Amino acid sequence: MGKKRIFSGIKPTGDLTLGSYIGAIKNWVDLQNEYQCLYCIVDMHAITIRNDPAVLRRRTLEQLAQYIASGLDPKDNIIYLQSHVSQHAELSWILGCYSMLGELNRMTQFKDKVRKGSNNLNAGLYTYPVLMAADILLYQADLVPVGEDQKQHVELARDIAVRFNGIYGHTFTLPEPFVPKVGARIKSLTDPETKMSKSDEDPQGSVYIMDTPDQIMKKFKRAKTDMENRVVFDPQKQPGISNMMTIYASATGKSFDQISSEFDGKGYGVFKTAVAEAVIELLRPIREKTDSLLSDPAYLAGIYREGARRAEKLAVPTLNAVKEKIGFVAK
């Protein structure tokens, strides 16, 4: 029996954060030897918001470089750009015809944008989950590494697959969400009740992979803490310190109990500095390798072209099977 298949992707709509690395990419690296992995830069999802075209291109290539710099081997993994594999868009349209309005109306991310009064409520934002379902089902993915906030999208992909399979016979593998136990949801340094995000309006709340050591140290020293002045993991009473303990645990491999013992009686100032230093050393080689890769655009172009070729080889059989089952005439 062959390896199980994993699909995951990140939008190039902002600079990758420490949360992106700990919550997603670091786990991808750990999975690459055990699974057949497709890691996509989902640039088609990115255009649901308005982007400066030059910035979108820059961030797309930076993200590709950061994937590789973080330890994803382009030979062992299929690393590619979503817009280079047209089968994503084709399958998305077909699956949209097997998605119910009630399902899309329940998607929390779209509801949040409506609630916040977004002035760009386009159809792409509404059908975004269908494209995500196509991303996953196109490759017969068994597992989808996601944060807790994305599990709903994997559930929709399963619902669509069950519906399609029920009508036409087995066509799609039913994917399962894969949520890491530690570090799956790193919170903002300035508002530990919210997720650290590429789109955070407060840049002090997010540590970016390409931040300098000085920038990282300053952000942690300004990070919101709690009144108790004890380094104890308690997300309810001490969300700020618990968030930093999660970061420190991910950067060092230490348990929460070990961290509490290490900083018993030392105060928040000492702890903040230690967390910052651990993050600086965690990100330093990634930042330096990213800079090196970006200086060789021909190498990166070779990676994304070969990745698209390999992805398309897997995507075409699924799409052709779908087209045949729904009654399209073959070429």
Q: What is the set of active-site residues?
A: 113, 195, 198
Residue 174 and residue 243: Cα distance in Å, rounded? 33
In order, the DSSP letters of 210-238 are: T--HHHHHHHHHT----SS------TTT-
Q: Compute the distance between CA of residue 281 and CA of residue 158 in angstroms, rounded to an integer.
A: 40
Residues in the chain: 331
Tokens of 172: 């799609």
> Residue 293 in 3-state DSSP?
helix
User: And the tokens for 183?
Assistant: 């570090």
User: CA 38 from chain center: how many Å?
Assistant: 12
DSSP state of 149: G
CA max distance for the chain: 73
The sheet that has 5-10: what strands, in order across it?
77-81, 36-41, 5-10, 143-145, 176-178
- Cα(215)–Cα(87) distance, integer angstroms: 41
